Amino acid sequence: MAQAILDVMPGASTGTVQVSDPLNFWAGKRVEPRQQKNAEPVFEPATEGAFRPDLLFEYRWFRPLEKREKIAKLEVINNGKSITEALVDIDIAWQCIEYYAGLAGALAGQHVQLPGGAFAYTRREPLGVCVGIGAWNYPFQIAAWKSAPALACGNAMVFKPSPFTPVTAVILAEIYKEAGVPDGLFCVVQGGAETGTILCQHPKVAKVSFTGSVPTGKKVMEMSAKGVKQVTLELGGKSPLIIFKDCDLENAVRGALMANFLTQGQVCCNGTRVFVQKDIMPQFLEEVVKRTKAILVGDPLLDSTRMGALINKPHLEKVLGFVSQAKLQGARVLCGGERFVPSDPKLVNGYFMSPCVLDNCRDDMTCVKEEIFGPVMSVLPFDTEEEVVQRANNTTFGLASGVFTRDISRAHRVAENLEAGTCFINNYNISPVEVPFGGYKMSGFGRENGQVTIEYYSQLKTVVVEMGDVDNYF
Ligand SMILES: NC(=O)C1=CN([C@@H]2O[C@H](COP(=O)(O)OP(=O)(O)OC[C@H]3O[C@@H](n4cnc5c(N)ncnc54)[C@H](O)[C@@H]3O)[C@@H](O)[C@H]2O)C=CC1
Ligand SMILES: C[N+](C)(C)CCCC(=O)O
């Protein structure tokens, strides 16, 4: 069995993954859970092969790999995204850790002079124990985005990954340990809603940073409110990407693909409502469809693959359901939107679908209003800037937005008028760690990345110093 796996592993999907080391990390080491109830199987999205906790063959194939490759491959096997993307995710994660390690030494307060020689100063102090709750779309990167600023500010963090992607967060814990982080400062606890609830309600937890869906985010906020805990919420989106006729069309098409098809479209900040000025609609559609059809879907561990498998079967069915509903509501499928079965026999049960472009969309359609979280782009025509900004803002979400134009004044005017936490001008979905990321409206609040995130993981103490006598009124 082990030999068979060794044979297929280099460069291709596994079919089975055995995880024998415990995935919880507590007080500086991997530990078995104290109690194991409601355990659910985890499947490899590309093959539907189960992760087998019972066999001794543990990550052996990964051992000789440098850590970056090892984490990326495990991420691919667990999440289904392409290896090309997973490697970038891991790079973004270490860049985030280096960035906040650098900022840690720059944490500083303010000195305020007061009358009579008195003065005050402020100190940035940690909050205490912070909880991070992660989603399944960027398992390792989310763990880094939350823990790096938390630890840099002097907090401890207990991180709960999504139960669909339990595998890589514990490696981050091992890396921190190796780098000298004291035992217990970063812990990993596996589990689902019940575990998340316990963490949010725990009286010793000072803050919860959550990434996931809006309904769960609301619950996290409610629970945290009861304990007056601080909260950061990174929730969903239905972001607009606005393409004006004066754009560089080649780049606009590339931007639309980046805005829709990373991680099989399972990205919270995706620009899934693509508004295209009517005059260039035919050229845009021709080019975007041509390139979407050319996206190589298949074994996510192969370097040539550009799109892997969706996270699980119910989610794949939900996304395909959105496409069927869109058709019923009058949308035209220009390409994709169907279950995809790769020719490799190992992958026939994988959760693949062909990336989809929908034309003939209207603002009132479900596919345009709701977050699909899959590779489905809805294209909408528009006439004027005023009209498109109003339509772009007509949503309860506000995570991201984008605009393609060569008119510099228009670009900044539109960026100012869009109600979203990020606006990309002439690009989409790049996320340098130096730049704050977070939502407006129901997409959440608080920020990740950038200097500002220090404020979300620390509290300000004011120290007031008297240099003279106390002025006593009594
Ligand atoms: N904003 C984003 O990046 C993401 C958005 N989503 C959206 O959410 C949908 C559902 O995905 P799920 O993974 O089910 O998201 P979810 O919001 O249910 O889960 C996110 C995290 O919260 C935890 N959780 C669930 N219930 C909880 C509770 N009551 N208290 C505390 N923690 C709890 C989960 O175990 C997981 O770690 C997706 O289809 C997508 O639309 C999903 C993942 C990421
Ligand atoms: C890295 N990026 C910008 C493509 C997505 C990160 C946000 C998320 O967790 O979905």
Q: Specify the CATH number of the domain 240-425.
A: 3.40.309.10
Give the model confidence (pLDDT) of 316-375 as tens digits.
999 999 999 999 999 999 999 999 999 999 999 999 999 999 999 999 999 999 999 999
* Contact indicator for 323, 337 with CB cutoff of 8 Å: yes
CATH code assigned to 4-33+41-235+440-460: 3.40.605.10
With a 6 Å cutoff on the Cβ, whether 429 touches ligand 2 is yes
Which of 213, 264, 437, 442 for a ligand 1 pocket mutation test, highest count of atoms within 8 Å of Cβ? 213
The domains spanning 4-33+41-235+440-460 and 240-425 adopt the same CATH topology? no
Compute the distance from residue 35 Cα to the ligand 2 centre, in Å: 33
Ligand nearest to the CA of 135: 1
Interatomic CA distance for residues 79 and 162, integer angstroms: 11
Contact yes or no for 342/298 (Cβ under 8 A)? yes
So what's the pLDDT on residue 89?
Answer: 97
Instruction: Please give the DSSP secondary-structure letter assigned to residue 426.
Output: S
For 195-233, write each residue's pLDDT tens digit: 999 999 999 999 999 999 999 999 999 999 999 999 999
Instruction: Note if 194 is an active site residue.
Output: no
The C-alpha atoms of residue 363 and residue 240 are separated, in whole angstroms, by 11
Q: What is the reported pTM?
A: 0.94
Other C-beta atoms lying within 10 Å of the C-beta of residue 313: 14
- As beta bridge partners, residue 130 has 157, 207
Q: What is the average per-residue pLDDT within 7-34? A: 75
* Domain residue ranges of the chain, discontinuous segments joined by +: 4-33+41-235+440-460, 240-425
8 Å CB contact between 157 and 147: yes
Report yes or no: 308 and 76 within 8 Å, Cβ to Cβ: yes
Phi, psi of 18 (to 5 degrees): -110, 130
The reported pLDDT for the residue numbered 41 is 79
Q: Which atom of ligand 2 is nearest to the CA of 268?
A: 10
Average pLDDT, the chain: 93
ipTM of the complex: 0.94
CA of 196, nearest ligand number: 1
User: Is 50 exceeded by the pLDDT of residue 58?
Assistant: no
Number of H helices and E strands in the chain, helices first, is: 14, 20
Q: What pLDDT is attached to residue 56?
A: 31
Pairing between β-strand 111-113 and β-strand 230-234 as defined by DSSP bridges: unpaired
Per DSSP, the three-state class of 372 is: coil
